Amino acid sequence: MPIYQVGLTLKDAYNRTTHRSFKFDDLTLAGAVINVGLFVTAYQDITELQVVESRLTDVITYAGAPVAGSNIDEGATFRAALDTPNKYASVSVPGIIAAARGAQGVIDMTNADIVTWVGFYESGLVTASDGETVTTIESGILDK
């Protein structure tokens, strides 16, 4: 049975927020949407806090193993131009692939895997973390 994760954001009278996570076992996404709605209603009935939002995520587990010697601390940061003039965002990727590591800590933006990944941003399918549209990912460098 699929597992769906739900995150609730709650706010108190002093505008402080807190987050709570729950897991739902449900047969379908449609069923999970209904059950989460019912759960949020029940949750609102037992708390004085405002439920600001809920986020429903379909938890997908992937098979595989990390590359030998891979390290979370060895990543890259990419400079992304946004659709607002002269505004940029940083996009970080932990454990960047060795094949994309160029000389002097520069990421090879012509690497086929990097080109594919960048395409998701430049097509508008993936946005910057605050929802802004990325027009292009200009460059990437290794993190220090």
Name the residue range of residue 16's domain: 3-58
Residues 111 and 99: beta-carbon distance below 8 Å: yes
Residues 2 and 24: beta-carbon distance below 8 Å: no
pLDDT digits (tens, 9 = 90+) for 52-107: 999 999 888 888 899 998 888 889 999 999 999 999 999 999 999 999 999 899 99
Q: Looking at the whole model, is its pTM more than 0.85?
A: no
Q: Are residues 54 and 98 in the same domain?
A: no
Q: Are residues 129 and 89 in the same domain?
A: yes
Distance in angstroms (rounded) separating the CA atoms of residues 109 and 141: 10
What percentage of residues in the chain have a pLDDT greater than 70? 99
CB atoms within 10 A of CB 80: 24
Residue 16 falls within a domain, yes or no? yes
| DSSP secondary structure of 62-117 | ----PPTT--TT-EEEEEEEESSTT-EEEEEEET--GGGB-GGGBB-TTSHHHHHH
Residue 37 has pLDDT above 90, yes or no: yes
pLDDT on residue 3: 84
Residues 100 and 108: beta-carbon distance below 8 Å: yes
Residue 68 falls within a domain, yes or no? no
User: For the chain, what is the domain count?
Assistant: 2
